[in-house]
Amino acid sequence: MNTITVSAPGKLLLLGDHAVVYGKPCLVTAVSERLTVSLSPSHDNAMHFDTPGVSDTRFVAAAIEAAQGSWGNRLPPVLVATKSGFSGNYGLGSSAAVTVATLYAIAEYIGRKVTPGELFRLSRNAILAVQKVGSGFDAASAIWGGTVWYEHLGRTITPAASDHMPLIVGFTGVKADTAAIVADVAKKYAAQTERVTRIFDAIADLVMGAREKMAEGDWERVGKLMDFNQEYLRDLGVSSEKLESLIVAAKGAGAWGAKLSGAGGGDCMIAVAPKEKRGQIEKAIEAAGGQVIHITPNAPGVRREP
């Protein structure tokens, strides 16, 4: 058996963070930074893992378990080797990418045809087995790639038009604890269901508006909608001082709009901005203590590599 190599992209959540956990829609784009998983025959009859850049190997183990459970124990002992084009600290979805890539690599290795829908179901279950919480949007993004409209916890996954997305990304330097922040929001939801439901409904409305404006290429309006989205996220209590200072810096330097991306508390902020302002916005983010991450949105989904 030869080595099988598969890669899956990281992601950035554009709009709809947190509300998506409650079945509302979100828009997510796959990014050019990819995570690679290779499977090759084991030299001794045991499984081996060589997973630099993957902070939590439980996702690889959960993917193998999901594959063995669904497809019969057909995977012989292999060496699983990973390589990541991005830091697991950025919040770009390395856990989902490694889960999806491992499952797809196993399918290729054992010669099993797998549809995107089946791959999604298995990946989502494997991620949930480890993480306990999460909407599954990150697995969908890693599988389908491009920019995706994700709703009803994965019952609706459709491509969204988003050409020439003028995205700027700033890393806060802080790794967010997604599970803890999602649990905090769940507590708020339980304590103030009506108020939080109103916030999620309002977020759903603006995500819908953003899909339309993205398709029209009206990025100025998308920026405004990102600003509104950020206000609701702030209201939910998931922003942080560092995120706010990078957002203020980006807007002060001419961004159309900016918000946190993902769970909040840290990770990355995103902004959309006119091309001619890009340089000064990046400088402003760095002056505010952020690290600009150069990515290209709308990257292809999971794929076999030569």
| Contact call for residue 182 and ligand MEV (CB under 6 A) | yes
Q: Is 12 in the site for ligand MEV (CB under 6 A)?
A: no
> Which residue shows structure tokens 């991005």?
86
Q: Could you say whether residue 266 binds ligand MEV (CB under 6 A)?
A: no
Alpha-helical regions (H) of 20-93: 58-71
Count of residues interacting with ligand MEV (CB under 6 A): 12
97, 8 in Cβ contact below 8 A?
Answer: yes
Site pattern 131..160 for ligand MEV (x: CB under 6 A) = ---xx-x-----------------------
Angstrom distance (rounded) from CA 169 to CA 211: 20
Among 5, 10, 18, 172, binds ligand MEV (CB under 6 A): 18
Q: Which part of the chain contacts ligand MEV (CB under 6 A), choosing from 17-25, 209-217, 271-279, 294-302?
A: 17-25
Residue-wise burial string across 215-231, b where 16 or more C-beta atoms lie within 10 A, e elsewhere: eeeebebbbbbbbbbbe
HSE (CB half, 13 Å, CA atoms) of 1? Answer: 19
Per-residue binder mask for ligand MEV (CB under 6 A), 70-89, x = binder: --------------------
Of 211 and 277, nearer to ligand MEV (C-beta) is: 211
Contact between 17 and ligand MEV by CB under 6 A: the answer reads yes
Q: Which stretch binds ligand MEV (CB under 6 A): 15-23, 102-110, 216-224, 294-302?
A: 15-23
Phi, psi of 111 (to 5 degrees): 70, 35
CA nearest to 75, candidates 28, 100, 99, 111: 111
3-class SS shares of the chain: helix, strand, coil, % to 5: 45, 25, 30
Residue from 170, 262, 266, 297 in contact with ligand MEV (CB under 6 A): 262
Amino acid code (one letter) for 300: P
10 contacts ligand MEV (rule: CB under 6 A): no
Binding footprint of ligand MEV on the chain (CB under 6 A)? 13, 17-18, 20-21, 134-135, 137, 178, 182, 262-263
